[in-house]
Structure 1
Amino acid sequence: MSKIPLARYIFQRLRQYGVDHVHGVPGDNLLQALDHIAPAGSRWVGCCNELNAAYAADGYARVRGVGAVFTTMGVGELSAANAVAGSQAERVPVVHLVGVPSRASMAAQGIYPNVIHHSLQPGGVLEPFREIGRLLTQGRDEFRSSASVYGEVTAGHFAATFDSMLRRSFVQSKTMYFPLRADLVDVGVDSSWLEKGLDDGEQGLRSIDEENILKALREAKQPVILVDRGLGIDGLKDEINELVRISGIPTFCMPSGAGMVDNSLPNYHGVHSGPFGRIDSMDYVNSSDLVLTFGPMFSDTNTFGWRTVPKASAGNPNMKLMILASNTTPPKRFSTSSTNPVTLENITKETLRRAIEMIKHNPIRPRAARLIKDWRDAGKPKALHADEPITQTDLYDKLSTYLRPHDTILLGNATPLLGARDFFLPEGARVIASGQWFSIGHMLPAALGVALAKRGLEGARGRGRTILLDGDGSFQVTAQELSTIIAQRLDVTVFVFNNGGYAYERLIHGPEEEYNDIAPWRYLDLPRAFGADRAREKFGYETQTHAVRTWGELDVLLADDKFCSGPGLKMVELLLGRNDVPERFQTLFRGAQEEPRLIRKVQS
């Protein structure tokens, strides 16, 4: 029987499923394991801290389907916990490997007064950390007790457990927490196990459920489709688009699902943002008798205080809300809606393909969407004076003309999250945006992960630019990872929206208070401080920096072919007014001051 070290087994298994890069920060409990990454055919990507590494793994997973972050126990894993929790909340499969001490070290620390570093107390060195990891990931009990890690367990047991957890991570679209003991790293396990793929566990819906979906579609007089990217639905994008195309049913994306549907389809009508969108979609959605929703994240922020959650009414009491999830468990009830949703939990590619074939043979005849105006016409750029300062009210229409096929646009958890959701996306372009977690600082290191994940991919998946739109406050949280983008010589374009602080918060409360201000940075000096000059001299890596204040300056920049098509890091500082946000969202922020009252009303 041929054997392979446990650590190499883990990295080779991950590589089989698309993980060519492992993000993290080295620590004493994982150093030996790191030696097995290169022999497994993968690369280590050292990040500035564990939080950023986990954010990068999240971005990587949104392209490849799974990402990996490797930290040391305690100080390392707790730093990563915020990002891992966000991946779990938004159903992004991230594998969190944690280097833990050897069995001998654990035995020694139990002898008073010996204490292991990075621990909270003697005798409880791992329990709090493991419990946090368990709660933030799959919530299963494989490593709940000390005996499960430090008892009479073998490397083979760890390998089998890893495979089982990884399969479940794929099936349930969840993160996983896996402690890797330092003394088991080099212990051999059966290499032939790698020749067997992981059973994907796709069971699909029962035929009766498929029939119920088709029956509901055929009986509906005014059906509508809403598409998000939660609940594991992201991997069904192609099938969802074909269903939208072949059915002709009027379709919207939820804000965090922007880009999930081909924008050129005639029955696609933009992002469902109600009165805050390019067009007001509320009346049409709420007058529909069937709302078919794929992977919705009905969070307060994603639905503007639950305003856009489909609701039955006195005029439409029989609305049917169907929530479709991919092999994961969606919420059973939304207290914000008077509509009791029907939830179907095991939508697979085959499920949708069968539905598409049935519709081809027996077409649906939906009503055309009766909308006030075409969302595409509403987004055409206005004529603006060259010497006028840029504002976010018109900025996003202008930036839409800059986008190209297969671009990946990341929206930082700042004002771009609102304005850019209405981009008209060219073929194959996609948006990455939070729908539930909304942690500021997320998207800069996520852009690192996205750019790495796209590198080396063949065909359309590997093409297109990686573009980040981020607020200045969000950017400052994780700005160090700009240095890793430079060190990895990645092609990334970063737009920093500089309004000197937290514009969201100023408009909600304390517009003149200093707690909503941030330190003034020289953003365009950062690439040089982070090693851009050395990268240029040693590797020919190019860096561009641009400050933009007026429409004329923006026009010149967007007409520059080197900026639009050239390689390397391109960083743009957009200098904006202190309280500048897109005009149509001003009322939203004013209403946010009354949010506690709104929540009480919605829940009553």
Structure 2
Amino acid sequence: MGLDIRERGLKKPVAVAEYLFRRLHEIGIRSVHGLPGDFNLVALDYIPKAGLRWVGSVNELNAAYAADGYARIKGISALVTTFGVGELSAINGVAGAFSEHVPVVHIVGCPSTISQRNGMLLHHTLGNGDFNVFANMGSQIACDTARLNKPAEIADQIDHALRECWIRSRPVYIMLPTDMVEKKIEGARLDTPIDLTEPENEAEREDYVVDVVLKYLHAAKCPIILVDACAVRHRVLKEVHDLVEKTQLPVFVTPMGKGAINESHPSYGGVYAGTGSHPDVAERVESADLVLSIGALKSDFNTTGFSYRTSQLNTIDFHSTYCQVRYSEYPGVAMRGVLRKVVERVDLSKLSQPSSPQVVNKVAENWDDSETITQAFFWPRIGEYLKENDIVVTETGTANFGIWETKFPPGVTGVTQILWGSIGWSVGAAQGAALAARDMGVDRRTILFVGDGSFQLTAQEVSTMIRHNLKVTIFLIYNEGFTIERFIHGMEAEYNNIARWQYTEVPAVFGASDKQCRKFVVKTKDQLEKLLTDKEFNEARGLQFVELWLPKEDAPRALRITTEVAARTNARVE
């Protein structure tokens, strides 16, 4: 079939799918998660042609979780599903990425524009001729939706969607009809990279905000810095580190900000989460007369049930789209430019220098003569096992709260999902994170902490780890069920129980040889100590699976406090 008139005018004709996947490669993606389906199969042929690797997950939900984990390490990720059945399986994972400001490009292969126009009764539809129903659902958890129906507009739509995904650090939804996959569009555009630079603040407004911030900072007697999730997601950690380095002010992180700061820095003061904090941390933060809050996401689990005892009158909030100084909000003045100028212009001679509390892994303090491994002992001990630049993935439940008690070595990246909190997320996220590290050419250990209840939801993703020979160390916390739910309500309730699996046999079921996977069952402190000091285990050259026994009715200190608040909130009536 010959080229149409529009295509004859193209300088460098390329297929839509080639254009899309080459753009993904350009913005840093190297592996594409997802599953095949008849509406995306032809498009998938273009993935290797663009220099990308097809991951091939075991289900769409796990693929979405993995894309989330990949993006948190690599900066951005891509997920391909088929229309209807595939994308709805993935929607929970994509919603989590939206909730937690993670940039995921969700590409949905869909029926042809002709089928859509004629309202055909096709498989994977609701049978009502509505082909926009799923895109409309997806639009609620995307910062941009691109329906690639008109060849003349497609290149613009793709470039715009990818820019929005990066700049706003949230998922985008791209609907790719089967008859558009190989339509030719202008490939000459690929010679010019997509502009991913963030828009600059209006200089006069930015300078005004900087002056106001410095006025309060220079006047403060006990200022501190509090770093939260959006400082990570919106890529201002360099500015934050420069601020800490120059001012030497005490710096604290929230649970969602764990790993954002070098915890070996003398200014690091620990994890602040309201009443869930250690008393000395709560005292330091809540007695501050100025809190520089960077990228805050004040969700219930991030704040131990909204229990901050800090005043807005003493707070300056820095966000990706606005800044707020006490009760004055400055819309459209983004934090990056303001933080840079604050670092440049702060007058150290006018700055108070309060000391920071010392943060250590409290192993000796939580030691007892029992052989039982308690939550209180385990998490500080893990702090001594971790090493520089590890990737630490923690699951919703005991792990997300226990890790508050772990002091990280420098360069450790914490990967948690505290706001969305979808159980099972961490198994896919660990696969994605490990793959991202490998795609970046860096040798980093990926260490996953997941409860037995959560693991049962997404255990199949171990299959993908094996398939791609990923180096992941899995600590499966065997404590007989849904612990966080037990502490909220129903300690002995049947609905919080799970089946007892032979957990260490799971890798073998998914095809791992003894050479590919080392397996351990750890029931005592001595066994744990022997494992954590084993040279080969620390080198983590392949998949490692540890079944770790902890008491059923034991939980980290912070989880106990948070679940008490959650139970009260759930029971509240007007």
Q: TM-score, normalized by length of structure 2?
A: 0.92
Match of 1:50 among 33, 36, 60: 60
CA distance in 1, matches of 2:319, 2:311: 20
Match of 2:352 among 363, 366, 384: 366
Counterpart for residue 412 of structure 1: 395
User: What code does the residue aligned with 1:481 have?
Assistant: E
Counterpart for residue 315 of structure 1: none
CA distance in 1, matches of 2:356, 2:111: 63
User: Residues 114-263 of structure 1 correspond to what in structure 2 (within 5 A)?
Assistant: 114-124=120-130, 126-138=131-143, 140=144, 142-143=146-147, 150=149, 153-154=150-151, 156-199=152-195, 200-204=197-201, 206-230=206-230, 233-263=233-263
SS in 2 for 1:468: strand
Contact 1:13 1:194 in 2 (8 A): yes
Match of 2:19 among 2, 9, 30: 9
Counterpart for residue 318 of structure 2: 324
Change (3 A) 1:346 1:182: farther
SS in 2 for 1:431: strand
Deviations 1:415-466 (A, max 9, x none): 01101123211121121112311111111111111111111425xxx23200
- Once the 2 structures are TM-superposed, how far is the Cα of residue 363 of structure 1 from its aligned partner? 4.6
CA distance in 2, matches of 1:127, 1:33: 20
Unaligned regions of 5+ residues in structure 2, if any? 1-10
Counterpart for residue 31 of structure 1: 41
CA distance in 1, matches of 2:258, 2:542: 26
Deviations 1:278-330 (A, max 9, x none): 44433332332321111111001111100026336xxxxxx33222122x469
CA distance in 1, matches of 2:487, 2:244: 38
- Once the 2 structures are TM-superposed, how far is the Cα of residue 386 of structure 1 from its aligned partner? 7.5
Change (3 A) 1:230 1:348: closer
Deviations 1:105-158 (A, max 9, x none): 2345x3xxx51111113321x2220111111111x5654xxxxx55xx21x411
CA distance in 1, matches of 2:23, 2:350: 44
CA distance in 1, matches of 2:314, 2:330: 11
- Once the 2 structures are TM-superposed, how far is the Cα of residue 230 of structure 1 from its aligned partner? 2.1
| Residue 285 (1) aligns with residue 285 (2) | yes
Counterpart for residue 41 of structure 1: 51
User: What code does the residue aligned with 1:134 have?
Assistant: S
Match of 2:115 among 100, 105, 108: 105
SS in 1 for 2:236: helix
Deviations 1:201-259 (A, max 9, x none): 42136222222222221122222211012276451112211111211222110011011
SS in 1 for 2:371: coil
Change (3 A) 1:383 1:120: closer
Change (3 A) 1:370 1:64: closer
Match of 1:402 among 385, 404, 413: 385
Counterpart for residue 357 of structure 1: 344
SS in 1 for 2:235: helix
User: What code does the residue aligned with 2:497 have?
Assistant: D
Contact 2:445 2:540 in 1 (8 A): no
Change (3 A) 1:383 1:136: closer
Change (3 A) 1:554 1:141: closer
User: What code does the residue aligned with 2:178 have?
Assistant: A
| Residue 72 (1) aligns with residue 82 (2) | yes
Change (3 A) 1:395 1:191: same
Counterpart for residue 265 of structure 1: 265
CA distance in 1, matches of 2:139, 2:161: 12
SS in 2 for 1:235: coil
CA distance in 1, matches of 2:561, 2:492: 19
CA distance in 2, matches of 1:284, 1:483: 46
Report how many residues are paired: 560
- Once the 2 structures are TM-superposed, how far is the Cα of residue 348 of structure 1 from its aligned partner? 5.7
CA distance in 2, matches of 1:586, 1:86: 24
Change (3 A) 1:208 1:578: same
SS in 2 for 1:276: coil
Contact 2:392 2:415 in 1 (8 A): yes
CA distance in 2, matches of 1:364, 1:96: 49
- Once the 2 structures are TM-superposed, how far is the Cα of residue 598 of structure 1 from its aligned partner? 6.8
Counterpart for residue 304 of structure 1: 304
Q: Percent identity?
A: 36
Change (3 A) 1:129 1:599: same
CA distance in 2, matches of 1:347, 1:260: 19
Deviations 1:488-532 (A, max 9, x none): 000000001111111111122111110000111111000000010
Match of 1:375 among 347, 359, 364: 359
Report the aligned-residue RMSD: 2.3
Deviations 1:30-74 (A, max 9, x none): 000000000100010100111111111111110111100000011
Counterpart for residue 316 of structure 1: none
Deviations 1:370-413 (A, max 9, x none): 75xx332x624447467611110111111111000000101101
CA distance in 1, matches of 2:179, 2:555: 54
SS in 1 for 2:316: strand
SS in 2 for 1:410: strand
SS in 2 for 1:281: helix
| Residue 495 (1) aligns with residue 478 (2) | no
Q: TM-score, normalized by length of structure 1?
A: 0.88
CA distance in 2, matches of 1:357, 1:163: 34
CA distance in 1, matches of 2:492, 2:335: 51
Unaligned regions of 5+ residues in structure 1, if any? 144-148, 313-318, 334-338
CA distance in 2, matches of 1:187, 1:15: 20
Contact 2:275 2:304 in 1 (8 A): no
The answer to which of 1-10 and 404-413 deviates more is 1-10
